[in-house]
Amino acid sequence: MSSSKIRYSVPICGLASRICSVSFIAGGLDFFFLRGQSHLSSRSPTGGDRDEGLTTEMQVVETQSKSLCTDMTTKEEKSAGEVMKMREKDEHSEQESASINKSVQHQYFQSLTSQGVSLKCQDPEGDGPHDQHPKVEHFLGQPVQYELEDRDRLSVLTWNLDGLDSEDLLRRAGGLFSNIKKYRPDVLLLQELVPEYLHCLKKHFVNYTFLQGSDEDYFSGIMLRKSRVQLLHSNIVKFRTTSMGRNLLLAYVSFFGRELCVMTSHLESCKTSYQERQVQLTKVWTRMREVPKNVSVIFGGDTNLRDKEVSRLGGLPEGICDVWEALGEPEDCRYTWDTETNDNKDIPHSVRLRFDRVFLQAARDGPAVTPESMELIGQERLSCGYFTSDHWGILCAFTVGPEVPTNKSSCKRRRNKRREQMGINGGESHSETMSGQVLDGDNVKKGLSLQGESSQSLDSGAETPQDPGQQTECFLGHPVQCELEEKDKLTVLTWNLDGHDQELKRLGGLFSNIKKYRPEIILLQEFKTPYLRFLMIHFKNYHILTRHFSSYFTCIMLRKSRVQLLSYKTVKLPSKTMQRDLLMAHVKFCGRELYVMTSHLIYGKENSQERLDQIGKVWTQIREAPDNVAVIFGGDTNLRDWEVNKLGGPPEGISDVWEALGKPEDCRYTWDMETNDNKDIPKTIRMRLDRIFTRASTDGAAVVPKNMALIGQERLNCGLFASDHWGVLCDFTVKPQDTPHESTCKRPPEANVKEEEKKEGDEMKKNEEEPRSMSNHDKPSKQPSKAARMAISIGNLFKEHVEDKDKLTVLSWSLDGLDEGAERRCGGLLRSINKYQPDIILLQEVIPLYLAVLGTYFWNYEILPGSDDASSTCIMLKKYRVRLLRSDVVNYPTTEMNRNLLMAYVNFYGRELCVMTSHLESGKENSQERMNQLRRVWKRMREAPDDVTVIFGGDTNLRDWEVKTQKIPLPVQFTISDEIHF
């Protein structure tokens, strides 16, 4: 709450062999809690004693571990001495086996050497490619040497653990532990996990990466064996109509360089929920089919399916197989929920069903994945008298083939040949009919003609220089390979989103179309603040530009992998009643400069003259752009044709793209009340309100329109369309102006003569007035604006601080975003970030306006918002110094102010940290709730891995008397930073 700030520095011990200092900035009611490493792994070079505060905790863990080890045996009791003898025998056998294997491998390599075979990557004594993984890992404390020959065999275990049954839960966990130790699966797909179960797994299996489906009472989870499976990214797909909190958890992984997608879910339970279960199953199949063709998909989970339910859906989709059926329907693996044998549940009659299933969709263009074997596990009764779960686990083995090299030219020739055989310019997938034409998502993306032109313009043999930009990006969690060979194809989408209507359900229509067509430039009108939050969360591969924050505004989105932002600004348009402006961005598309503009002109027939004044201002800005830069404008102009004719049509050099393409009839009406019934309008109105104008450059890149299509004409599940306007999607070919070319958007010769005469006159009067049509390098230098100076300063951060790898700076600040005047106070935050340049920023009371401004000015930070509410927490990470590993949001169950805990695991120059922030309950009367939230924060800090240092910073709203009166002393291994002496 206080405006004063104090800087602190504390040592981070155990992170590396040298001492690192941490700088903190805090003040007032905001606190920092620091939990150092409580246990150093064997790889740490520093070593060190454990903290005294962990003694009791470690004793409890050891006691639990002993009880779990006891449960790892079957019901037949064994003495402790026999168990120790078995362990020693196992260790001796493993060492002997490893020695024999090493000897055999050495003899084998010697025989290959004698035959003249090179062993640069096969020498077991050398540092081959496999040496990037540790050669030994531990399962429940026992070292295991990898089977190097099994790099083509992937083992997957799926199991419903019945965590909702609290009867002997931890003792039943021993069955899972013993099976993990025995089979060492590469991927575990778990259902009905509970926090206690997950905590135990994290404590004892540190060699696995954990993914959690949610923070509810029970959830699904994925475990990935670190030595063999590397996590690329993950996603959670919510089932919107579920009444049991079910979702789909998926992860893209790399298995020794071969990309795979693994999924798990726990579909709706009970026989009466068969309809919802079928909806969820269809959603799973849809997600599997949306995965790229070069990636194989493995789904495993508790589907609760009956065979007749799959039959009602018409069976499995093409390309997806049931692994049990593919292996010949082995009888011993038929029933995964068998109350005839498994008596964990007190069910009076016998029920045998195949609830748990594994689906496989093999890659069509990538490494082949084929099922090898399947078996049911967990069928041994434990010493407690129970089985591990009321479900049997399914252990599957797959053979993963080598990476298949692809020849892009040959693939393109085959693709073009198929298109010619089909007799259309469309592809073979995801096609839909619009007004008698075939419209294909991939074709629109690649700039193929939708107006009946030949597709032979794609030269399959031509070599295209590769773009140094990123080659893979994600759209809604799905990786997409960038079309590097289509460097001259530019896709632009303009769409009025009808932000007046508060139905956020319609936003899914925009999301699905962005994912489908992947436009480089998106021009949006009637844009609301909630839309901005969702787009920033789900489309991080786009720059999002917006300047005017009112009830609704305009927005420009630029695809980072293809479009580079140089600068942008806002120009006010003449308006008396409705505030309107023109948003302009100066960009570079594959090395060629462009101007893109958007605006939402005033609506209403009675405002015709004001609308004409505004479009006149827009055309003036288009003409005043530099001559070597092409211009594209798209927006909701609300223009009627007679109004444009009243002005004599567009000025010379400016072209209406719809007219330039021959006025295609299916793209005439963008506001069509005959088809679109989002608005309750009694009469039929059809108008072309949304338009795209272009102006070609005289000596730079020329923009030639190739095709146009209207999108958003599919009715959504909510019964509405995405907007009352159709979106206008247009493809352009961006050509250099080195050679003459035919273009309907080319500026006439008369305009060039006039411009030359104007240049000569301006040169004579350059001391009297500033020339507007001169090229960029001839313009007089100007003092950069505040925003430009800030951007320059931010761009120099890397050069100034790249050597300071042992100092971590953390800023925690409650911004009071809900108070009046937040827009004016935002500049103070920007200046403070620019001054102190913190590596980690923990913010509270953040409003969407702040998030938009921070995302615009600080591109070198990764922004993690805590929620989609009007005020939330936020974590910012400096990208080139702090790398995000994973993040999580923990909701407080009893909060009345929608408060939560936002946490992120990060990597700071090879040293793993966990940072947390929260805004605890406000008000003196909410003292007890604040204490409960604080306990939950401390609990989460203690649950972090022992070799990870935890830093918490936030607005705790704590008073000193609360901590003393409530008698909740700080945990032993915790420290408050303002109590440390420096």
Q: With CA atoms as reference, report the closest residue to 478 among 779, 252, 770, 745.
A: 252
Query: What is the reported pTM?
Result: 0.38
Q: For residues 798 and 193, what is the distance between their CA atoms, to the nearest angstrom?
A: 43
Give me the helices (H) in 770-839, please.
Answer: 786-795, 797-801, 822-836
Q: With CA atoms as reference, report the closest residue to 32 among 19, 23, 45.
A: 23
State the angle between helix axes of 848-857 and 529-538 in degrees (0 to 180), rounded to the nearest 10. 50
Q: With CA atoms as reference, report the closest residue to 585 among 513, 524, 656, 517.
A: 524
Task: Give the pLDDT confidence of 181-219 residue by residue, as tens digits.
Answer: 999 999 999 999 999 899 999 999 999 999 999 888 899
Does the pLDDT at position 865 exceed 60?
yes
What is the pLDDT confidence band of residue 417, given thresholds at 50, 70 and 90?
A: very low
Task: Give the pLDDT confidence of 706-749 residue by residue, as tens digits.
Answer: 999 999 999 888 888 999 999 999 999 987 655 444 444 444 44
**Of 231-245, 738-752, 831-845, which gets the smallest average pLDDT?**
738-752
- The confidence score (pLDDT) of residue 627 equals 85
Q: For residues 23 and 946, what is the distance between their CA atoms, to the nearest angstrom?
A: 22
More confident residue, 635 or 740: 635
- The confidence score (pLDDT) of residue 30 equals 64
What is the pLDDT confidence band of residue 54, given thresholds at 50, 70 and 90?
A: very low
Number of Cβ within 10 Å of residue 831's Cβ equals 12
Which backbone phi and psi does 890 adopt, to 5 degrees? Answer: -110, 115
Q: For residues 491 and 730, what is the distance between their CA atoms, to the nearest angstrom?
A: 6
Does the pLDDT at position 301 exceed 90?
yes
- The confidence score (pLDDT) of residue 121 equals 37
What is the pLDDT confidence band of residue 225, given thresholds at 50, 70 and 90?
A: very high
- The confidence score (pLDDT) of residue 24 equals 54
Does the pLDDT at position 295 exceed 90?
yes
**DSSP strand pairing (686-687 vs 671-672):** antiparallel
What is the pLDDT confidence band of residue 592, given thresholds at 50, 70 and 90?
A: confident
Does the pLDDT at position 947 exceed 80?
yes
Does the pLDDT at position 449 exceed 80?
no
The torsion region of residue 467 among left (phi > 0), alpha (psi -120 to 50) and beta comes to: beta
As a whole-number percent, the residues of the chain with pLDDT over 70 amount to: 67
What is the pLDDT confidence band of residue 359, given thresholds at 50, 70 and 90?
A: very high
Give all domains of the chain, ordered by start, each with its CATH number. 150-400 (3.60.10.10), 489-734 (3.60.10.10), 810-966 (3.60.10.10)
Number of Cβ within 10 Å of residue 871's Cβ equals 20
- The confidence score (pLDDT) of residue 924 equals 85
Q: From start to end of 670-768, where are the E strands?
A: 671-672, 686-687, 690-695, 702-711, 727-735
Does the pLDDT at position 773 exceed 80?
no
- The confidence score (pLDDT) of residue 131 equals 40
What is the pLDDT confidence band of residue 870, given thresholds at 50, 70 and 90?
A: confident
Residue 493 Cα to chain centre, angstroms: 22
Task: Give the pLDDT confidence of 644-668 residue by residue, as tens digits.
Answer: 988 888 998 899 999 999 999 999 9
Under a CB-based contact definition with an 8 Å cutoff, are residues 294 and 252 in contact?
Answer: no
- The confidence score (pLDDT) of residue 550 equals 52
Does the pLDDT at position 52 exceed 50?
no
Task: Give the pLDDT confidence of 455-497 residue by residue, as tens digits.
Answer: 333 233 333 333 434 456 767 666 766 655 577 899 999 999 9
What is the pLDDT confidence band of residue 141, given thresholds at 50, 70 and 90?
A: confident
8-state DSSP, 426: -
Task: Give the pLDDT confidence of 499-558 residue by residue, as tens digits.
Answer: 766 566 788 889 889 988 999 999 999 887 777 777 887 888 898 887 654 556 889 999
Q: For residues 366 and 252, what is the distance between their CA atoms, to the nearest angstrom?
A: 14
- The confidence score (pLDDT) of residue 10 equals 42
Q: For residues 120 and 131, what is the distance between their CA atoms, to the nearest angstrom?
A: 13
Angle at 397 between CA 195 and CA 212, to 5 degrees: 20
Q: With CA atoms as reference, report the closest residue to 184 among 231, 136, 217.
A: 136
- The confidence score (pLDDT) of residue 223 equals 96
Q: For residues 473 and 560, what is the distance between their CA atoms, to the nearest angstrom?
A: 9
Question: In the numeric block, which tokens belong to residue 552?
Answer: 């609704």
More confident residue, 557 or 433: 557
- The confidence score (pLDDT) of residue 744 equals 40
- The confidence score (pLDDT) of residue 188 equals 97
Helix, coil or strand: residue 52: helix
More confident residue, 224 or 786: 224
Which of the residues are catalytic? 302
Average pLDDT over residues 930-953: 91
Scored b (16 or more CB within 10 A) or e, 777-798 reads eeeeeeeeeeeeebbeebeebe
Does the pLDDT at position 957 exceed 80?
yes
Does the pLDDT at position 341 exceed 90?
yes
- The confidence score (pLDDT) of residue 532 equals 77
**Of 255-269, 340-354, 431-445, 865-879, which gets the smallest average pLDDT?**
431-445
Does the pLDDT at position 46 exceed 70?
no
Does the pLDDT at position 776 exceed 60?
no
- The confidence score (pLDDT) of residue 293 equals 87
**Of 540-554, 688-702, 823-837, 923-937, which gets the smallest average pLDDT?**
540-554
Does the pLDDT at position 579 exceed 90?
no
Average pLDDT over residues 232-254: 93
- The confidence score (pLDDT) of residue 825 equals 83
Which backbone phi and psi does 887 adopt, to 5 degrees? Answer: -140, 165
- The confidence score (pLDDT) of residue 521 equals 96
More confident residue, 267 or 139: 267
Does the pLDDT at position 55 exceed 80?
no
Under a CB-based contact definition with an 8 Å cutoff, are residues 546 and 852 in contact?
Answer: yes
